[in-house]
Amino acid sequence: MISESGSPAPRNERPGDNGRGGSYVSRSDITEIPSARSHSGLAERLFHTVTGGAAWIVLIILLAVAYSMASGGALAFKTFGFGFITSTNWDVANGQFGALVAIYGTLVTSAIALLIAVPVSIGIALFLTEIAPVWSRQPIAIAIELLAAVPSIIYGMWGLFMFAPFMANNIEPWLNDHLGVLPLIGPLFTGPPIGIGMLTAGIVLGVMIIPFIASVARDVFNAVPPTLIESAVALGATRWERLWHVTLPYTRSAIVGAIFLGLGRALGETMAVTFVLGNAHDLSASLLMPSNSIAAAIANEFTEADTELYRSSLVALAFLLFIVTFIVLSLAKLMLARVERNLGRTN
């Protein structure tokens, strides 16, 4: 159809028709697409800013805490120098302070706690995931996790009033008589059976960190793909072979992380250790003798620090505990990276 001007007359097109059987897009619809994209980009930038800010806030707080402790302990480090770390002398009356006894007690009690907690925790996790009847797994797991909610002062009171007398009457005399006479490890188990000391503190710490390691290990073992387990069973592997060659290798990096999580908990424990360690600034090779830890020394003596040098020495102890914990966690990260690298080679 031709119009009077000689040009084809426009057809009556519907809003949804472009004249070729396709859909019609209006100008307003076209302008809405960049607007939605810009809104999405704004939300993305906002999310990036908020999450990045949260991460930086944590880092800033960490640096602020380290700076406050370093500046607070500057007088002690300036007065005693490196000797503050290597000296065993803690003489408040004469103003002589050394951190070696506290550092030694912290490391020894934490090591004893790991030696006790790691095999027990892994055994509990394997039992709950592989051996225990299905109906009993959840109640036992809840009971173990409830141990993590018990306040540390409760563990300390239990250790002082119940476990320490048990150690003094039953365990330490046996250790003196049977292990104290051995040539190499004998000095570790000789001493008066008084019940409180590094061994008792280490055992109490081990009981405290078992729920943390066991809970993480249980969740990790439950995350093993069923196909791996079924493949091992199909090849004729026994339960022990399946656990040793499938479950533990698959989860070893996470297990190492759980162990160092428990170690970090043990290094910073204060109240429970204060009750059962003995709080003595004496360096002894015997695990039965009283000693001290960094956290216990700070908790016991900070309110009695009546001189600037005394307070600075206690703050310096806190800074050393921060450094020790940082070194331990760094070693854990390096170990995890090495385990994952070796696992990649074997695969």
Which tens digits make up the pLDDT trace of 138-171? 888 888 888 888 888 999 999 999 999 999 999 9
Q: Does 35 have pLDDT greater than 70?
A: no
Residue identified by tokens 């330490």 is 172
As a whole number, mean pLDDT of residues 315-333 equals: 85
Q: How far apart are CA 16 and CA 2, in angstroms?
A: 25
- For 71-119, the DSSP string reads HHTHHHHHHHTTHHHH----BTTTTB---HHHHHHHHHHHHHHHHHHHH
Cβ-contact 71, 316 below 8 angstroms: no
pLDDT value of position 347: 52
Residue 39 has a pLDDT of 66
Is the model's pLDDT at 318 over the cut of 60? Answer: yes
Model confidence pLDDT, tens digit, residues 56-111: 998 899 899 889 999 999 999 999 888 899 888 888 888 889 899 999 999 999 99
Q: Which residues pair with 91 in a beta bridge?
A: 96
Whether residue 174 is predicted with pLDDT greater than 70 in this model: the reply is yes
Determine the average pLDDT of the residues in 16-22: 48
State yes or no: pLDDT of 18 exceeds 80. no
Angstrom distance (rounded) from CA 36 to CA 27? 15
Catalogue all structural domains in the chain, each as residue range(s) with its CATH number: 73-346 (1.10.3720.10)
- pLDDT for position 344: 60
Mean pLDDT of 299-327: 88
Check: CB of residue 84 under 8 Å from CB of residue 77: yes
pLDDT score of 42: 81
**CA 169, CA 174: separation in Å to the nearest integer?**
9
Name, in order, each residue with C-beta under 8 angstroms of 74's C-beta and a sequence gap of 6 or more. Answer: 312
Strand partners, 291: 278
3-state secondary structure of 9: coil
CB atoms closer than 10 angstroms to residue 199: 24
Report pLDDT for 16.
46
Enumerate residues 6+ apart whose C-beta is below 8 A from 248: 255
What is the model's pLDDT at position 302?
85
Confidence of residue 314 (pLDDT cuts 50, 70, 90): very high
User: pLDDT (tens digit, 9 = 90+) per residue, 37-56?
Assistant: 666 778 788 888 888 888 89
Compute the distance between CA of residue 344 and CA of residue 337 in angstroms, rounded to an integer.
11
Average pLDDT over residues 191-219: 91
Does the structure show a pLDDT above 70 at 14?
A: no
Look at residue 19 in the predicted model and tell me its pLDDT.
Answer: 47
What mean pLDDT do residues 265-273 have?
A: 86
Instruction: With beta carbons less than 8 A apart as the criterion, state whether 293 and 80 touch.
Output: no
Q: What CA–CA distances, in Å, run from 218 to 93, 125, 224, 346? A: 51, 4, 10, 25
DSSP letter, residue 12: -
Contacts of 333 (CB under 8 A, 6+ apart): none
- Please give the mean pLDDT across all residues of the chain: 83
Say what percent of the chain tops pLDDT 70: 86
% of the chain beyond a pLDDT of 90: 28
